[in-house]
Amino acid sequence: MGTKRETIGVEAGAPERRSQRGVVSESQIAGDRSEMPGVRREMSARALQHPFPNSERRKKEGQAAVMAASVGPRVYSCSNCQNPVCLHDDIISKSFFAASGRAYLFSHAMNIALGPKEDRHLITGIHTVADIYCGECNQVLGWKYVRAYEASQKYKEGKFIFEKAKIVKNW
């Protein structure tokens, strides 16, 4: 019974090969789909509709890259005075929370002033932090992690939290 299943669909006299799916004829390996005319027509129709299915996506990505290069870096600015304070490329995580809601963790910041260091009890434990202020209007934008006491939180040291409500996209 097992032998009968293996030979179904194999042309008489055609050389055979064994694969994980059973016996395959050389004509099937070479691409002869005469035994499957419906599949061949369906593939041809799809190929006529979209000969290069990813070309539109690639074209848009290329246009975005050219636009980004000509416009410059994507910058976040203070929501109060539009002073540029951080770059989109420096985002490490968008899954943080602050008093005003969502917050982003950045590796770098610019045009800011640091407040005094203080120990603060946050969701992930006690950290030594310093508030960060806009360098132009002195609005509190978030904080800088100065020290993390737990080993699992050490990656935050030297990084900046910007509250999403306090910054705006400037691109």
Domains of the chain, with CATH numbers? Answer: 2-51 (no CATH), 75-169 (2.170.150.20)
Q: Is the pTM of this model over 0.85?
A: no
Residues 130-149 have pLDDT tens digits of: 999 999 999 999 999 999 99
pLDDT at 77: 98
pLDDT at 8: 39
Provide φ and ψ at 40, rounded to 5°: -65, -45
pLDDT at 171: 84
- The residue-averaged pLDDT of 108-116 equals 98
d(CA 66, CA 138): 35
CB-hemisphere CA count at 13 Å for 109? Answer: 28
